[in-house]
Structure 1
Amino acid sequence: MATFALIHGAGDVGWYWHLVEAELRARGHDTIAPDLPCDDDKAGLLEYTDTVVEAVGDRRGLVVVGQSLGAFVAPLVCQRMPAELLVLVAPMIPAPGESPVDFWSNTAWPGSSGDDELFYQDVPPTLADEARRRGKDQSETRLGEPSPLRAWPDVPTRVVLCRDDRLLPPDFVRRVARERLAAVPDEIDGGHTPALSHPLDLATLLDRYTKG
């Protein structure tokens, strides 16, 4: 069975993954979903990576999963420790040396729909309210710094797009995945936060990856 290191996106916490964790653990996997120091002005991508590496410890059979901004952290974790698989979910797919701030212009991001519910558009209201309560204020102080990623890690990589995502639309993710990773994404239903809106679908896909 695998150990899943689950990396949340901007302004979020590890709780975001709790429904997916329950599904994966029911299938016999181990999971770690640390809170990144994303509200700390002194913390950048290296500190985010340190947090994940420390949480994983000496566990093996590692599958690293990064959602949204967490996709900037996930390949850095794979450079620091042995990983069997890297999975990017509703991702900002980074280029080596790119800052999160520059991602938007470098990829010709089409912009959002202007909907206020970009993150929780299809999440049950009670669950969405809890997510907002637990969320953090994302510090942008160091998001303009170049990523320390120098080359994509030599780890099999899968991309998962969400068909209803209004922040990172499907056509956009398909194009960036093709241009940056020569990858064709797998697709699931849901908006930008599928771990809350479609946890069973996401967990089933992640479990399937471990079985080759």
Structure 2
Amino acid sequence: MTTYVLIPGAGGSAWYWHPVGAELSRRGHDVVAVDLPGPDPGAGLPEYADLVVDAVGDRSDLVVVGQSLGAYTAPLVCARRPVSLLVLVNGMIPRPGETPGEWWAHTGQEAARRANDVREGRDPDAEFDLATYFLHDLSQEQIDASAEHMQEESEAVFATPFPLDAWPAVPTRVVAARGDRFFPAEFQRRVAQDRLGITPDEVPGGHLTALSHPKELADLLESYLHAVASMP
């Protein structure tokens, strides 16, 4: 049985993954969605990786999926456990030694977001609005529920350098949501090519595509799994 290990982004709530987890469970897979202590000022990337590895336990045949900031933790898990496949969804793809706090300026995320706002008719100088960049494609029911699970992310993780000297030797795929306003798809394509030499596959939805389009994301994850399983 394949185990999907689902790592959330900033705030650390496993709840974010529940629609995708339900889809994958219905298809006969084991699912481990990990709660991370986002607000804890004493928890950095090593502690996050420890928590994920502990949650996995003695399970095998692992597919590790990291969302957004979770892209910093996911490769660390792959360096410690045998993993069949690593997938990054709207991910902050790290470089060796780079902190998540440095990632924004290194990748040019802010300029990319502003340029996308101009293209789509939003004021790039408007005050940052959570609904505009994260909740715009969710149902009202999902928006209400997300408010109950939303947490701040402490500076501890953002100050932790990515400790691996090289990307783990694991088949890796990158997924970009076409409607992501926070990490625009064009920006994600550039970063993925620059850092991993990978062209992302695209799914519908925004930055929280696992909430807005879980079936499409689960379908893509399954297609990756089948492709890797058929590799010689």
* TM band (smaller chain): over 0.9
**1:123-134 alignment, distance < 5 Å:** 123-134=138-149
Q: CA deviation at 1:145?
A: 2.4
Q: CA deviation at 1:115?
A: 4.6
1:210 aligns with 2:225: yes
**1:128-143 alignment, distance < 5 Å:** 128-143=143-158
Q: CA deviation at 1:141?
A: 3.3
Code of the aligned partner of 1:168: F
Q: Is the contact made by 1:71 and 1:88 (CA closer than 8 Å) also made in structure 2?
A: yes
Code of the aligned partner of 2:215: L
1:116 aligns with 2:116: no
Unaligned 5+ runs, structure 2: 118-127, 228-232
Unaligned 5+ runs, structure 1: none
Q: Percent identity?
A: 53
Alpha-carbon distance between aligned partners in 2 of 1:142 and 1:181, rounded to the nearest angstrom: 22
2:76 corresponds to which residue?
A: 76
Question: Between Structure 1 and Structure 2, how many residues are aligned?
Answer: 212
Alpha-carbon distance between aligned partners in 2 of 1:123 and 1:70, rounded to the nearest angstrom: 21
Code of the aligned partner of 1:18: H
Q: CA deviation at 1:67?
A: 0.3
Normalized per residue, which structure has more helix?
A: 2
Q: Is the contact made by 1:66 and 1:87 (CA closer than 8 Å) also made in structure 2?
A: yes
Alpha-carbon distance between aligned partners in 1 of 2:18 and 2:160, rounded to the nearest angstrom: 30
Q: Whose Rg is larger?
A: 2
Alpha-carbon distance between aligned partners in 2 of 1:27 and 1:208, rounded to the nearest angstrom: 13
**1:161-176 alignment, distance < 5 Å:** 161-176=176-191
Q: Is the contact made by 1:96 and 1:150 (CA closer than 8 Å) also made in structure 2?
A: yes
TM-score with structure 1 setting the length: 0.96
Runs of 4+ in structure 1 displaced over 3 angstroms? 111-116
1:119 partner SS: helix
1:100 corresponds to which residue?
A: 100
